[in-house]
Structures are given as structure tokens and as C-alpha cells.
Amino acid sequence: MQGRLHRPRLNARLAGVLLLGLLLLSGCASTPRLAESTEQSLPRQAWVADVPFHAQREYQCGPASLAMVLNHDGVDVTMETLIPQVFIPGRDGSVQPEMLATVRRHGRIPFVLDDTLDALLTELASGHPVVVMQNLSLPAWPMWHYAVAIGYDLDANELILHSGEEAERIESFRRFDSTWARSERWAFVALQPGQMPSGISEQPALQAIAAFEQTQGAEAALPAWSALVERFPTSGMGHFALGNARHASGDPLGAIESFRTSVAHRDDLGVAWLNLGLTLHANGEEDEARQALQRAAALPGHWQKRATDALERL
Amino acid sequence: MKTLRRFLSPLLILALVLGSVSVSAAPLPASELISTQTALSAERADADRERIHEVLSRDEVQKQLIAQGVDLAEVEARVAALTDEEAHQMAEQLEQLPAGASVVGALLVVFIVLLVTDILGLTNVFPFTR
């Protein structure tokens, strides 16, 4: 008898806890707001044409998403090729570092975007499909998922995605952002060397191109470095990187010019002085080589010893 | 045997000394520029120690991927495509890294909670709730 009396109260309490939990959860979710400047500069609707749709098979949304963005950008690769390159059978899925690495293997540069809806929509408006990572479920029981955003409608507050087994699926900004926020709004575009996302800042761009250069070599990365210094003309590190790529592609004079530009913008960049000195020396310009190496040797840090050694050997 | 050793030891020492001298006195070829990747990672603290870690990481990642069922013929190319940082991240936390797409546990309570959150527009688990 007693047990029966208690049970409704217990159920009520459980229901209350659940309800409270849900209210708290929904308290965090609302239609995401765009920055005023984005709102004004973006077209009301955008649609990236010619993104082929590949329906995922079991758990293979990673390879499917990669195939879509790579095919769109003219890379001729099938899902069958991508599956053994990026899928981890033991995890029933694909992990973020390998998604990026696989893009690099196919000659494109993956740029991870800023974690805002603004950055995502801006890329769509510039005609780049965007791979997004979502947790379609709750953090406690995750259901991780990759999809490809291909368009949006600001008036309807909707995003259009090739997702899972569904092409051109429409998701409200609110629902999409709730699921996307659980991956810390992880998204990337796969671009040809020479192209860059419009909103990217200098440091992530440097890292992305350097990573690409490591797998694809200096010559393949050359257009990307040129684009970087065009976007960030005062980037000392950017000119330094361009100099290295030119040097490795057999253009020492171009390299010297880039290293000079680099130290002109960043007089304290010891590593650029060092490479400038070494390249000048190899080119027979001893006086200027000595000056550059002396400058490198005078700057405290990693490269001081290398510069001193090189000076001694002149 | 003893005489042989008496001869050999000074010879070996001499060879080693000469060897190290010739290495340090060799002219520095211009191709020995500092690479962009090295320069970028040196900007972070403890770069040298990290590099040692990262060499170890790649072996570790390779082992883990094989254990997770990745094709032996593919594993080397996959690890080679990672940057040092990515290899490090994979070695440290492959188990915790989110992998698209995992499955939801099939508990009834979970089902009901997710059904409600789906209807509220917080999740997107069931296709029929849209």
C-alpha cells in the first residue's frame, strides 16, 4: 500500500528533474545571430552549384563528405578510394585530424574556419562547400556526424546540407547550430593552393599551408604562399615561407628577394636573417651574407647558434 | 688478442675523433635552410622536446590504427599525411577523439529524452521528427 502511495510522487519528481533539465538545455539554444556586418554584406540566399551528392553507407559520412567537396573542386576520387584512407573500422567513424590529412593527400589545402556561423555562411556565399561536424544527439550519448553545407537562406533562417543519405536537406539555423555547437563549431573548406577563405587570420593560414607543404612539397605549395603574402603583405613569416618554397623550387634569386622582404617587415625574425645569409652565401654575395648572418647571430633565440656556426665557416 | 686490442683501441679513438672533426668542419651547404615547418614549430616553447615526442607519436599512432582495424597497406601513408601536431593529438587521445558517426545507446530512457530534444529542435537523431 505504502509503496503505491509513494510511486506517483517519485514519478512526479523524476518528471520534474527531466523537465528542468530540458528547460536548461533549451535555454542555451536559440536561433544564432549573425554579426551586423555579415548580415549586411552577405546575399540573402546562396547556393553552391555542382556539389555532387554521395549517400553515406554505414557510418561512412566522413569519406562521403570528403568525396563531395573534393569532386566539387575537380579532384577525381571515389568514396571507395577514400574509405581505406580515412575510415577507422574500430571506431566506426573518421577522426578530424585524418579528415584534414586526407584532403592534403589529394592535393587540396584544408582550412579550418573560425567557429562562427558568419564564417560558414561567408564561405558558402563565396562558392565553397563546407564540411561541418555535428553531434546530432546529446553530449552524453554522442552521435557524431560529418555533412557538407552547400547553401543557406537568411530570410527563412535555414541551412542546406548534403547529409547522410539525404541530398539538399534543409535544417533550421537553430537546430543546426545546436548540433554544430557540440563539435565546437568545427568546419573546414578544401581549396586549391592559391585560394584562401575570406575570413581566415594569418596564423591559422600559415599553419594550414605549412602542413600542406609537408606532404605535397614546396612546388605544390608555392601558389599558396604567394596568395598568403598577397592577403597579408606585412607577414614576415609569410615572406619567409615563400622564400623557402622558392628556394626549394630552384629559384634562389626569388628566395633572396622574399627573405629580404621578410626581414624588412620583421627585423627580429632571426630565422629569416639566417636563411637570407645562407642563400646569399651560396650565391656568392659574401659581404651581404656576412651582414645577414651577423644580424641573425645577434638575435637571441633558437637560431643564434646556427648563425654563429655559419659565420665561423664563411 | 690483447695486442690486437692494444692496436685497435687507439685506432678506433682516432677514427672517431677525426670523424667528428670532419663533420663539424664541413662547409654548410645552402640547402640546409631552416624549413618553414621547423621555424613555425620552434615558435612554440619546448620545441626540441616536443619533436622527440612527435617521432614517438607516429609509431604509436600506427600501432593504434592497426589495432583499430585499419588496413596494413594503408596505415603508413595515413600516418605520413599527418602533421606532427596531428600525430601527437592522435597518439594522445585517439580513443576520445570524436569520430563521425558513432551510434547512440539503445536505452529506452535515452530514446525518450532524445525524442523530446529532437522535437524541441535541440538534436537531430530521428528523421521523422522534422
Among A137, A290, A309, the strongest candidate for a mutation testing the B interface, having the largest count of B CBs within 10 A, is A137
pLDDT score for A163:
92
Place of cell 561567408: A122
> What's the pLDDT band for B126 if we cut at 50, 70, 90?
confident
Q: Assess whether pLDDT exceeds 70 at residue A27.
A: no
Across residues B38-65, what is the average pLDDT?
Answer: 75
| A256 backbone dihedrals φ, ψ, rounded to 5° | -60, -45
A166-172 and A158-163 beta bridge pairing: antiparallel
| Pairwise CB contact (< 8 Å): A143 & B47 | no
Q: Least CA distance to A95: which residue of chain B?
A: B99
Q: Looking at the partner chain, which of A88, A206, A207 has a beta carbon nearest the beta carbon of B65?
A: A88
Nearest to B103 among A101, A143, A281 (CB): A143
Across the interface, whether the CB atoms of A26 and B83 are under 8 A apart is answered no
Mean pLDDT for all residues in chain A: 90
Over 80: is that where the pLDDT of A67 sits?
A: yes
* Cis ω before B101 (30° cut-off from 0): yes
Shortest CA distance to A191 belongs to which of A106, A120, A256, A249?
A106
Mean pLDDT on A15-26: 54
Give the pTM: 0.82
By the 8 A CB rule, do A289 and A280 touch? yes
Q: Is the pLDDT of residue A14 over 80?
A: no
Place A10 in a pLDDT band, splitting at 50, 70 and 90: low
Under the banding of pLDDT at 50, 70 and 90, the label for residue A295 is very high
The pLDDT value recorded for residue A193 is 98
Q: Percentage of chain B surpassing pLDDT 90?
A: 17
